[in-house]
Amino acid sequence: MKEIEQYDYDLPRELIAQEPLATRSDSRLMLVERKTGRIDHMHVRDLPDILEPRDAVVFNNSRVMPARLVGYRKETGGRWQGLFLRADAQSGVWEVLTKTRGKIKPGERITVQDRDARDGMELEVVARTEGGNLLVQPHLPDGFVDLQGGPTKELSEPADWLDRYGRIPLPPYIRDGQMVDADIEHYQTVFAKQRGSVAAPTAGLHFTQALLERVRRMGVYLAEVTLHVGIGTFRPIQVEQLDDHQMHQEWGSLDDVTCRSINGRREQGGRCIAVGTTTVRVLESAARNDQGLQAWQGETDIFIRPPFAFQATDGLLTNFHLPRSSLLVLISAFATRELALEAYQKAIEQEYRFYSYGDAMVIV
Beta pairing class for 272-275 and 56-60: parallel
Residue 132 has pLDDT above 60, yes or no: yes
The pLDDT tens digits of the residues spanning 313-330 come to 999 999 999 999 999 999
pLDDT confidence tier of residue 143, bands split at 50, 70 and 90: low
Q: Where in the chain do CATH 3.40.1780.10 domains reside?
A: 3-64+184-363
Q: What does the pLDDT read at residue 103? A: 83
pLDDT digits (tens, 9 = 90+) for 263-311: 999 999 999 999 999 999 999 999 987 789 999 999 999 999 999 999 9
**Strand locations in the chain (E):** 28-32, 39-43, 56-60, 62-64, 68-73, 79-87, 94-97, 109-113, 119-128, 134-139, 194-197, 221-227, 250-254, 272-275, 296-300, 315-319, 360-363
User: Is the pLDDT assigned to residue 136 strictly greater than 50?
Assistant: yes
> What confidence tens digit (pLDDT) does each residue in 194-219 have?
999 999 999 999 999 999 999 999 99
Task: Give pLDDT, residue 131.
Answer: 85
Instruction: Please give the model's pTM, rounded to 2 decimal places.
Output: 0.93
pLDDT of residue 151: 45
Q: How confident is the model at residue 68 (pLDDT cuts 50, 70, 90)?
A: very high
Spell out the CATH class of 3-64+184-363.
Answer: alpha beta
Q: How many residues does the chain have?
A: 364
Give kind and range of the element (H or E) at residue 184: helix 183-186
Pairing of strands 221-227, 56-60: parallel
Query: Running DSSP on this structure, what letter comes out for residue 236?
Result: B
Average of per-residue pLDDT values in the chain:
93
pLDDT of residue 349: 98
**CB of 212 closer than 8 Å to CB of 191:** yes
What three-state secondary structure class fits 296? strand
pLDDT band at 155 (very low <50, low <70, confident <90, very high): low
Question: In what side-by-side order are the strands of the sheet with 28-32?
Answer: 39-43, 28-32, 360-363, 315-319, 272-275, 56-60, 221-227, 250-254, 296-300
Domain 68-167 - what CATH class?
A: mainly beta
- Per DSSP, the chain holds a count of helices (H) and strands (E) of 7, 17
Task: Give start-end residues of each CATH 2.40.10.240 domain in the chain.
Answer: 68-167
Q: Is the pLDDT of residue 234 over 90?
A: no
